[in-house]
Amino acid sequence: MSNAYEEYMRGIVAPMRQELVDAGFTQLLTADEVAEHMQESTGTSLIMINSVCGCAAGLARPAVIEAVQQVENKPDHLVTVFAGQEKEATEQMRAFFEEVPPSSPSIAVWKDGNLAYFIPREQIEGHMMEEVRDHLAGALEQVCAK
């Protein structure tokens, strides 16, 4: 049974989720979905740890979407978990890269079973969207090069 707060939040975050889904991202909603993707996917995965904060809306989501559109070397998979919404899925995702402190929003590039690159909130918040986009695009060009 859900409470009024949870229902309210589901409505609030719906467009925040849809923005990434419309750009080709797959939502990983459960810990099992995260584990399956992380253990079974091959190649590179771009992982967006989504958030309701302003730096996710104005910086991280637009930067991720534009970076993927502009790079020549694209990741094989685009996935997202939503911090503060699917707590178990987010916790499971973060367990795959425990060497970095939890951060949301944040962007990870996973390659062949290892964390290849990570952009934490402090490299998103306070920066221009174009800076975040270009930072991620540079990382994707290197990590996703065949």
Length of the chain: 146
Q: Give Cα 115 to chain centroid, integer Å.
A: 13
Residues tagged active-site: 53, 55
Amino acid at the residue 134: D
Determine phi and psi for 107, rounding to 5 degrees: -135, 130
Going by C-alpha positions, the residue among 98, 108, 109, 107 that lies closest to residue 127 is 107
